[in-house]
Structure 1
Amino acid sequence: MDIAYLLASNAISREYDKLRDEVVDATVDGLVDSLACALAGVHAPGLAEARGALAHWGTGECSVWGGFGRTSAPFAAFLNAVSMHALDYDDTDDKVPLHANGMVLPGLIADVEEARACCDGRDFLTALAVGVDGAMRIGRAGGPKGSRGWNYSVISGSVGAVLAIARLRRWDAETTVNALGHQLTQTAGSLQSIVDGSLAKRFQPAQMVKNVVMSAALAQAGIDGPRNVFEGKAGFVNLYQDGKFDFDAVRADIERCDLPVDLSLKPYPACRFTHAPIDLALQLHAQGLRLGDVRHIQIRVSSQAVNMVGRKFDHRSAGVVDAQFSIAYTVAVGLERGAVRIGDFTATAIRDERVGAFAGERITIEADEGLPFLGMVPVAFDVELSNGERLAISTEHVGGSPEKRMSAAQLRDKVLDCLDFGRSRVDADALIAAVHGLRDGRPFSSVLQLLA
């Protein structure tokens, strides 16, 4: 049987009381983090236009988060997924890389609101853990195909989203495989939006999330999809992975649903490949250095980091996505300001002549061929100071990773920054308390009320 049947049967059989405490902790933290990111992004460029465009196609029962009314489940999932991903502040599986909650949550919540708003909080957390685990499992088994131009969050994460809905709906394996099959027929995702720095980048995951809701509806209606989802002649493995796929990585301890523990939450609202360089920039700031004290920084990173975030930065023409995907810009901001916050990625902030000129002229980024191609670490700085002195610093860990996890206080600070930037009326502690209350079986409607 195609491995889709293993994924399906495992997902629908997971129970809350069999999840390890660490998995529940990580799932709760990921949910807090993701909802904060979504409420921060509701006014991001492109979203008002998208809400206006979709409004022509009718209303529905599902909330557009942040107080923007209601629409149908597919459109709510789409719009909420855009807001969650718009600021590039959502979580990452560093080993792929892959945004997990951003692919799983919006569709799952739309499904909850449409059909079962009073579902038990523990049931919801179980479905979310199943979905995040599934997305990460497929991502790690396949590995990114960035050289072919695939956006791996998009093509892999939607598998986890289907599994989460299947668990919540208590489907049988056959219906779940049908939904996975329908999703296969709709899967696509090009990296060109990142290369071109276009706003389409933040809409790509949302397109797949919308398709997940559609796939679930088709499967629920009894319409069959392809059964050989992964191992078929034109299945996921041959089509997206060139036939290279680690099936053992899918099977390994699948019944434990442990992978949410490995998910990284972002301390900074930029591409994950910028985070280790930002960590080092903040280290220099803490030592008392500012832009005026530094003549040049030579930064050595992996080849994929150069591909993703190593392009030359020009503040006169850069857009928001260019800044989010720039080591040079984020390092200059961190060095000068001692923090990298959401407000550093507005059109006004990006035009800062002092920061922009430093990023474009005094930072050089090169690939270290001795590093793993996809590695986010190690990262090394060779710093030449204005007085002629030289410093060499490096890091082996990325902020927000399982090895360098954010504390509860740091996560709360992130939530506060997100809600403030999004001009949200939601209280940070109320949001955190509502999510934590799901562990005690409080209905998910308590969270929905805040989002709406």
Structure 2
Amino acid sequence: MSLSNEIVHAIRQRQKRGLPEEIREKVILHICDTIAISLASYKGAPIALKSIAGLSIGVKGGTGRVIGSEHRLPPAYAAFANTALAHALDYDDINDLARIHPTPVTLAAALAAADAEDTSKTDLITAVGLGNELLCRFGYAIEPRGTGTDSKWFLSQLFGYLGATITAGLVLGLDDNELVHALGLAYMQVAGGKEPGVGTGSQARSIYPAFSSMGGVQAAFLAREGVSAPASCLDGKTGLFLNYFGKNLNEKQRSVLLDTETWAFSDTSIKLYPSCRYSHPFIKSALVLRNHFRHDEVDQIVIGVNETANMLCQPLEDRCHPKTLQDAKFSIPFMVAFAFVHGSVHLNNLTEGALMDTQVLNLTKRIKIEQTQSDTPGIPIGDIKIVTAHGTKRHLERILPETHIDAVKKKFTECCMYANVSNPEVLWETLSHNLVFDGVNKLPIIIH
């Protein structure tokens, strides 16, 4: 049996059993979080709106609603739009071990497919939950460490094509054969080169997962119309894993991918800072250390990184004086200095104006990078040492998966207030207690 067939079989097993209650509740939190981020993006992420406008040239009308907007687009375009909004602020959920942002991709795919149908064959929570689990399973199977072949790809995008395909396919009610064909059609589009993240000076990293949700939705609709593709797309002689990672999955990796007893999605975190996840342990360390020193007392900040985190520190001059907000959020040195100076990181202070913050820029000049850690699964420890005339203090911060309902609700409210949504508490209660396709279609319209 091909890997594509086995994946579809595993998904059907999970679908037949239904989501465990704790996973269902977690999926609800992640969908609510993603919606709030998207509303905030419509207000404060121009790169997302520019991307949607550029993609939509020549397109008039459609069935798919763009979150925060009255506009309608064809399904694949709507999927792109909503994933771009969900990711543009760098505030979206992430599974640290898989190194994947799942919900922005799957939610957009589910909504796009549902908007095109009179009735959905799979409910919103189940479709997103199963799509998220598949995405996280792909990451678990290859055990990314940020070095070697996995370092070349945005895994949220590369595997996102497949996750979006399955999610949209479930909503459309594709049968097993159609789902296998849809995976093959998704494979024909897969991409995700990581240079927009590693390089500096561009805004492109803000929208990279959007291509995957667009492609996945397109693949699902093509399969529904009877377009076929080889079942060997993932493990064939020129299949995905051989082409993109140099070898097919071994038996152990296949068993990890196809496991239906545990839930990889349970380890997915909801971000508490609107910046690259790799910066979060270092931000937390900086916030602890600023309780002991003022920023004007600091002679040197020594940031201890691993090889992967070092990619977010080099070239050091560019990382310390980022030219775009996207680069700032993807720079460990800048985010450490910003957190140390301001004592918090949120949508209202981490803005374009931060790029010219003289206190932050002056502090970045005193930053030194040392490689003190080896690359391991997940994200590194936030290793920071502060050197002053009065002494030296070092702090190590380890980040664990985080999804605390009070923190999620607080973030939801703050995102809605940022977007000038009236009565965010009412919206929270509505979504968190009755999360259905029709309810999402009645979200507030954001005025610029």
Q: Tell me whether the two structures share a fold, i.e. TM-score over 0.5.
A: yes
Kindly provide the CA deviation profile for residues 41-60 of structure 1, in whole angstroms up to 9, marking residues without a partner as x.
Answer: 11413233334331432111
Is the 2:138–2:159 Cα contact (8 Å) retained in structure 1? Answer: yes
Amino acid at match of 1:191: K
What is aligned with 1:139?
Answer: 139
Kindly provide the CA deviation profile for residues 29-76 of structure 1, in whole angstroms up to 9, marking residues without a partner as x.
Answer: 211111111111114132333343314321112111112411111111
Please list, as runs of the form range in 1=range in 2, the aligned pairs for 1:363-382 lying within 5 A after superposition: 363-368=367-372, 370-373=373-376, 375-382=378-385
Larger deviation: 346-355 or 37-46?
37-46
Q: Distance in 2 between matches of 1:134 and 1:291?
A: 44
Amino acid at match of 1:4: S
Q: Are 1:448 and 2:441 matched, yes or no? A: yes
What is aligned with 1:383?
Answer: 386
Q: Distance in 2 between matches of 1:127 and 1:284?
A: 43
SS in 2 for 1:60: coil
Change (3 A) 1:428 1:393: same
What is aligned with 1:39?
Answer: 39
Q: Are 1:326 and 2:319 matched, yes or no? A: no
Change (3 A) 1:265 1:309: farther
Amino acid at match of 1:449: K
Is the 1:142–1:244 Cα contact (8 Å) retained in structure 2? Answer: no
Q: What is the deviation of 1:246?
A: 4.8
Please list, as runs of the form range in 1=range in 2, the aligned pairs for 1:236-385 lying within 5 A after superposition: 236-243=240-247, 245-252=249-256, 254-256=259-261, 258-285=263-290, 287-314=291-318, 318-359=323-364, 361-368=365-372, 370-373=373-376, 375-385=378-388
Please list, as runs of the form range in 1=range in 2, the aligned pairs for 1:392-431 lying within 5 A after superposition: 392-395=394-397, 397-398=398-399, 401-402=400-401, 405-421=402-418, 423-425=419-421, 427-431=423-427
Is the 2:166–2:220 Cα contact (8 Å) retained in structure 1? Answer: no
Q: Distance in 1 between matches of 2:62 and 2:293?
A: 54
Change (3 A) 1:444 1:317: closer
Amino acid at match of 2:196: S
Is the 2:161–2:187 Cα contact (8 Å) retained in structure 1? Answer: no
Larger deviation: 41-50 or 321-330?
41-50
1:106 to 96, 108, 127: 108
Is the 1:301–1:376 Cα contact (8 Å) retained in structure 2? Answer: no
Change (3 A) 1:124 1:189: same
Q: Distance in 2 between matches of 1:17 and 1:4?
A: 20
Q: Distance in 1 between matches of 2:433 and 2:126?
A: 14
Kindly provide the CA deviation profile for residues 268-295 of structure 1, in whole angstroms up to 9, marking residues without a partner as x.
Answer: 111111000011111123x253311322
Amino acid at match of 2:10: N
Larger deviation: 215-224 or 325-334?
325-334
Amino acid at match of 1:41: S
Kindly report structure 1 stretches of 4+ aligned residues shifted beyond 6 Å.
none
What is aligned with 2:187?
Answer: 184
SS in 2 for 1:344: coil
Kindly provide the CA deviation profile for residues 83-113 of structure 1, in whole angstroms up to 9, marking residues without a partner as x.
Answer: 1110111111111311111221111111112
Q: Are 1:5 and 2:5 matched, yes or no? A: yes
Q: What is the deviation of 1:338?
A: 1.4
SS in 2 for 1:133: helix
Amino acid at match of 2:226: G
Kindly provide the CA deviation profile for residues 170-200 of structure 1, in whole angstroms up to 9, marking residues without a partner as x.
Answer: 3221100100000000011111112134112
Is the 1:91–1:266 Cα contact (8 Å) retained in structure 2? Answer: yes
What is aligned with 1:159?
Answer: 162
What is aligned with 1:74?
Answer: 76
What is aligned with 2:53?
Answer: 52
TM-score for the superposition, normalised by structure 1: 0.90
Q: Distance in 2 between matches of 1:276 and 1:86?
A: 21
Amino acid at match of 2:112: A
Is the 1:19–1:256 Cα contact (8 Å) retained in structure 2? Answer: no
Q: Distance in 1 between matches of 2:377 and 2:312?
A: 10
Change (3 A) 1:9 1:166: farther
TM-score for the superposition, normalised by structure 2: 0.91
Amino acid at match of 1:7: I
Amino acid at match of 1:47: A
SS in 2 for 1:99: coil
Amino acid at match of 2:133: D
Q: What is the deviation of 1:81?
A: 0.9
What is aligned with 1:217?
Answer: 221
SS in 1 for 2:116: helix
Q: Distance in 2 between matches of 1:96 and 1:255?
A: 17
RMSD: 2.3
SS in 2 for 1:41: helix
Q: What is the deviation of 1:327?
A: 1.0
Is the 2:99–2:378 Cα contact (8 Å) retained in structure 1? Answer: no
Q: What is the deviation of 1:434?
A: 2.8
Change (3 A) 1:10 1:244: closer
Change (3 A) 1:24 1:256: farther
SS in 1 for 2:135: helix
2:174 to 171, 182, 198: 171
Q: Distance in 1 between matches of 2:203 and 2:141?
A: 29
* Percent of residue pairs bearing the same amino acid type: 25
Change (3 A) 1:348 1:379: closer
Q: Which runs of 5+ in 2 are unaligned?
A: none
Amino acid at match of 1:50: S
Q: Distance in 2 between matches of 1:451 and 1:131?
A: 26
Q: Distance in 2 between matches of 1:185 and 1:257?
A: 30
Change (3 A) 1:357 1:374: farther
Q: Are 1:432 and 2:428 matched, yes or no? A: yes
Is the 2:120–2:173 Cα contact (8 Å) retained in structure 1? Answer: no
Q: What is the deviation of 1:249?
A: 4.1
Amino acid at match of 2:157: V
Between Structure 1 and Structure 2, how many residues are aligned?
437
